[in-house]
Amino acid sequence: MARSTIYNKKQSRRNLTSRIALQALAILPLASSQHTSKRGLAYVGNTHVPDNTLLTSTNSHLSWYYNWSPYPSSQVPSENLEFIPLIHGVDDAELSQTSSAINGLPSSSTHLLTFNEPDGTTDSGGSSISPEDAARAYIDHIVPLRDGDEGRKWAISHPSTTGSPNGLDWLRRYNESCYEIDEENGCPTDFIAAHWYGAFDGLASWLGTLNEYYNTNTSRETPLKIWVTELALPQAEADATVSMMNQTLPYLDELDYVEKYSWFGAFRSGDANEWTGDGVALFDDDGGLTEAGALYMGGDANGFSAGQKGEGNAAAQLHVDRRMLLPLSLAAIYGSCW
């Protein structure tokens, strides 16, 4: 999915008022009870200050986020949510500043995502990498980060493909290429990243397929955990999204081989892209939580309800750049019916 115009153009459109408000939020003390939830955010860069106040609330179910880049978002205090860096494609992997940025992150960041939808096109936000090229780049540039060649060891994921037959075929060819390059080690990994856009039953099937491929059908002693890093029900009405969430969230919370998951929708309904539709949004156009948003944040039990707004200077808001919400990978369409 979207790279968020990959580094949000270094957030060049931040204005001074927003920065002051967000810096004030960043110094709030962390709640005494640490987040242990699996739940996180696929964060495209919501620049509405009140929205971010809610998203970074320490009494929510959220514990982590990523933004398709190795650079954390200034809108999200690292004290509240763990930032997970992502190396989007081969070009990024080869840049020395990428590894420098990753190794300069706070110690709370321990996991690294790699190669976003390599089986997808660049127009849809994918990295469009052949399995052979991905295997070579992974071994040359990603594995050293796992080994701590620069002094810090990271837990690394295999590339996150689309949730489709094409994605599974890509992973098979990728792993074959890995062992052609390194017969003994292949492409070592610590966890698996997965994407899913579609109904609950398809999600359960896709996760079962990945678990079978990586764990059941291998001699691996320690099973790999799965992180669902993009998740949504596209082109659906709000009621259908809530119904899907009511099935999906408890399922993922209880599934032992799923370690983390993140919803794609941390923006206002008017900022949703055409492919997803506005039913995925956690906020309505006025900045109030949608019913899905309140549910994802933890609901009444955690102090969140539909229509609730965050605190902050609404006059300081910027509008989300729609280019940050690039169309979803067309390959993911197949995932909704697989």
DSSP for 252-290?
HHH-TTEEEEEEE--SBGGG--TTT-GGG-SB-TTSPBP
Question: Quick one: pLDDT at residue 313?
Answer: 60
Question: Quick one: pLDDT at residue 154?
Answer: 98
Q: Tell me which of 127 and 19 has the higher pLDDT.
A: 127
Please tell me the least confidently modeled range out of 73-77, 134-138, 276-280, 294-298. Answer: 73-77
Q: Is the confidence at residue 25, as pLDDT, over 90?
A: no
Domain ranges of the chain: 5-335
Please tell me the least confidently modeled range out of 30-34, 232-236, 296-300. Answer: 30-34
- Record the pTM: 0.83
Is there a contact between 220 and 212 (Cβ–Cβ < 8 Å)?
no
What CATH code would you report for 5-335? Answer: 3.20.20.80
